[in-house]
Amino acid sequence: MVERLQTAYKSVAADLMAASHSSGYWPGRLSSSPLATATAVSGLVCCELEMQRKNCLQKEWSEKIQLLIFSGLHYLAKHQNEDGGWGDTDRSHSNIATTLLVRSAFQMAGAPAHPEDMLPRADAYIAREGNIRGLRKRYGKDKTFAAPILANMAIAGLTEWKNVPSLPFEWACLPQSTYRFLRLPVVSYAIPALVAVGLARFRNATPYNPISRYVRKKCITKGLRLVREMQPESGGFLEAIPLTSFVAMCLSSAGHADHPVVASAIEFIANSVRDDGSWPIDTNLSVWNTSLSVSALSDEEELPAASIRDWLLARQQTQEHRYTAASPGGWSWTERSGGVPDVDDTSGALLALRKLIERQQTDPRGEESTPPVWKAPLDDDTREHVHLAAHLGTGWLLDVQNDNGGWPTFCRGWGKLPFDRSGTDLTAHAIRALSRWSDLERSATPEASSAEPTVNSRVEDAIARGFEFLEAAQHEDGRWLPLWFGNQAQADQSNPIYGTARVLMAYRDTDRLQSPAARRGWDWLLSAQDLGGGWGGSGRHIAKGQPHEPSSIEETSLALEALLSDPKLKSDASVQHMIRKGLAWLTDSIERGSHEEASPIGLYFAKLWYYERLYPLIFATSALARAIQVFSTEPQIQSAESSGRVLEKTGR
């Protein structure tokens, strides 16, 4: 059994290693997105038309923009689903938001559609889904994405401007410290969109109230200055094509096509296009991918530890962030300038750094205490640099913990909208990072160690409060729901497998295996196994009339990694059987090469689906490394295997 696991591990780990950059990081590749492509096309069309009116568009840029528009439309035409709609990726179900955006792009471009029935089929899908009513139902009270989509439709002439929410862009001109009290209708990272959509709505549907007109007119210049200050060097807000496109088209529609923000945004969009004419939702997840890859690979892999360590250290934010006013110390998901420090990526980077330096320590005799492939023991200066970075990073996590004990995504106490509230997956990740570094606080510099008792006590208190939040957030059946991942097979599109697995890893890493909450989590995870042995599909509960969704490499791997810490694994034959069945499904899939195809489980802001080609490689590598360790060292499990319960093919 162990031999087969090792073979599968070597295969998927080799693929993961091959995906790394020579500089010591994993850039990955996000899925192309019809939604991002549609917004890019609409943004380019709107900006080109308005720039021509203002006579501020150079001929060479006009030709380039036109080429990008037509190549984007060609990509969209090829990826319409059978039901007439479009999904967020080429592997996603159709949804009303993406379909409305694609329809707006074709309407704005005015290009003949091919095939001829493409737009009529799209219109029929939109009508079935309720058009604007369906869009509002999808997003509820959160106007972060609904407002820009409606503005895009209004610019295209598909709806009236009165249907676009009149966002209070003047509020964004107030000090950032007041945002948490204003109950803004958008999440923390969407201030540029709030200003841009608000300006477009004000220009095209001026309010009747003279006081509102006066106040908003007075705030236009300050609002534009704020957006310019928040625009990163790359030109891309959050490095996100949709957000950047919305800002560009709305500012152009508001009469500001000649503003520097628009020019920088167009350049970012043009530089982000792919060879097939499509755009991804974001530039990359390089920091996130790198942190997860380092944590997933076993100690036997020959990694350039020093290069990866230095690359991660260079990605730490060293100044207060202009978006969220976050203090220095955090990490974002990308090395690009548009990234924003957040809890998940900060936690991942801290865990990866801890693993990297542990492999470079020396023992008291001066000999390397780790496999020779990691080489290059730490010198004093490097060790101090890493410890300072960890001290700053753990302090950043402590400072953003919410009053309810959980951790939000970007900043503390913003609100209750999606991705601003505390999340179970974020909280579990933060707990794991804090617990791994708490014992190194006393190893920091004299300046840091002078506050050692306070820091260590804060860590212990934060972890305890974090678990209180997790137990309060656990559903009665034992599952936990995450913020940043979803599953199309679920009726509510949540991903309890991802959430439950990630939370259980926090219980594992803090020696809370006997907790009643963890026991309920393991029991639920076992009950969620698909009939074929994997996790994540609709194979256990197939709704009548709904398409069958297969298990995924990503969710199966996450479930297995968590379940391999289940205390019952050593003594319960049924648990052993289910885990072996899951491992058989996983190894079968790897032998067939299925790990080369990612599933759209990633959930970006505003219910925007994506897949990342490294996710199945990372998660499978991590699960198999854990399985090899467990099955090689646990005598109870070895004896069960020798008695006849062997890892066999599932017959699929």
* Confidence tier at 651 by pLDDT (50, 70, 90): very low
* Confidence tier at 645 by pLDDT (50, 70, 90): very low
- 397/330 Cα distance (integer angstroms): 8
Cβ–Cβ under 8 Å, residues 290 and 284: no
Please report the beta strands in 570-641, taking only residues with DSSP state E, as ranges in sequence order: 602-604, 608-610
- 377/366 Cα distance (integer angstroms): 9
Mean pLDDT to the nearest integer, 600-615 = 89
Both tokens of residue 365?
């005799």
Using one digit for the tens of pLDDT, what is the confidence trace for 620-636? 999 999 999 999 887 66
Both tokens of residue 494?
């949540």
Both tokens of residue 460?
């212990």
Q: Give this prediction's pTM.
A: 0.91
- At 387 the three-state DSSP class reads helix
Cβ-proximal residues to 232 (8 Å cutoff; 6+ apart), any chain: 239, 336, 337, 338
- 251/249 Cα distance (integer angstroms): 6
* Confidence tier at 450 by pLDDT (50, 70, 90): very low
Q: What is the secondary structure of 12-26 as a DSSP string?
A: HHHHHHHTSBTTTB-
- 368/64 Cα distance (integer angstroms): 56
Using one digit for the tens of pLDDT, what is the confidence trace for 237-278? 999 999 999 999 999 999 999 999 999 999 999 999 999 999
Which domains does the chain carry?
34-272 (1.50.10.20), 285-473 (1.50.10.20)
Using one digit for the tens of pLDDT, what is the confidence trace for 269-321? 999 999 999 999 999 999 999 999 999 999 888 888 889 999 999 999 988 88
Using one digit for the tens of pLDDT, what is the confidence trace for 508-521? 999 999 999 999 99
Which residue type does 141 have? K
